[in-house]
Amino acid sequence: MRPRRLPSLLSLRAFEVTARHLSFTEAARELHVTQSAISRHVRALEEAVGRQLFVRLHRAVVLTDAGRRFADDLGVGFLHIHRAVEALSGARAQRLRVSAEPAFAARWLLERLGRFSIAHPRIELELETTDELRVLGKDADIAIRYVASASRRPRGRHRRLLELQGAPVLAGVRPRPRLWNNDAAVPGHRLLHDDDGEAWRAWFTAAGLAGFDAARHLYFTDYSLALAAAEGGQGVALGSAVFIESELKSGRLAEIGRTRVPFGEYVLLEATGRSSATQRAAFIRWLESELAPARSSPA
């Protein structure tokens, strides 16, 4: 039996770039062709595979489930092609050392790094997860750190990435109790911390409630552990929507009370050396584009 004829490489590339940007216009800009050419290639690909890959809205496109899986597989394939060509030609990869705070790395950055590698196949990323300070330029080219609201901002070249706004969350149940709509329901649960209590004290003040000192407490050294404990029914944690989007959508975590409070932000610190300047700029542009939806959506 003869193997099925593959779609054209042009149509596959047009689809992969459009899926990465979720925009025909941006795909056309990256590939230096017209928007109509991109649209024709994607249509031809959909006809060839017999599946709809995009839902076309008024001014946007959204991947179907089949399109999302196909885009992920194609991205990996094109990345291998890039690396094979570079290995054959003897081109050296450009290394970029990123040091990231563990919760940010585990709950947000890690699942998106594949898209960076696909968009920048020549940059070899070295990711370290730690809370410890690093000497920029010597130990890392970029550092992403959490800064509590009451702390001083770091010295040196840095930019604010994302403000965290916390809401009390706990293991979801169905049906949702009416009592959970009231802030007064929070002190009845054990409070889960990943700091010395500063964030929860701020929440109690914002909610106009007493009872922090009388509440039961459980302390962790890592934010992800506090959220995991909340999901496991051990108490209530202050969760930031940007880190628990999937848990909230699935119902594994649910919000309790009405008050939300800013409790910190993430900042990016950058080395100043010229050797990694191009790689740093590419990573920061990519990071800013990935963070844009979180910045524009409600907390």
- List pLDDT tens digits, range 253-293: 999 999 999 888 899 998 888 888 999 999 999 999 888 87
In a domain, 2, yes or no: no
Q: Are 104 and 266 in contact (CB under 8 A)?
A: yes
pTM (predicted TM-score)? 0.67
**Full domain range(s) for residue 182:** 163-263
pLDDT tier for residue 91 given thresholds of 50, 70 and 90: low
pLDDT at 299: 47
pLDDT tens profile 6-59: 888 889 989 998 988 888 888 888 888 888 889 999 999 999 999 999 998 877
pLDDT tier for residue 131 given thresholds of 50, 70 and 90: confident
Same domain for 241 and 184: yes
Which DSSP helix (H) or strand (E) runs through 284? Answer: helix 277-296
Same domain for 214 and 171: yes
Q: Are 181 and 258 in contact (CB under 8 A)?
A: yes
pLDDT tier for residue 2 given thresholds of 50, 70 and 90: very low
- Total domain count, the chain: 3
Task: Average the pLDDT over 65-70 and give the result.
Answer: 90
Residue 137: is its pLDDT beyond 70?
Answer: yes
Q: CA–CA separation, 5 vs 197, rounded Å?
A: 62
Task: Average the pLDDT over 112-129 and give the result.
Answer: 87
CATH number at residue 292: 3.40.190.10
User: What is the residue whose two structure tokens read 């928007």?
Assistant: 35
CATH number at residue 58: 1.10.10.10
pLDDT at 153: 67
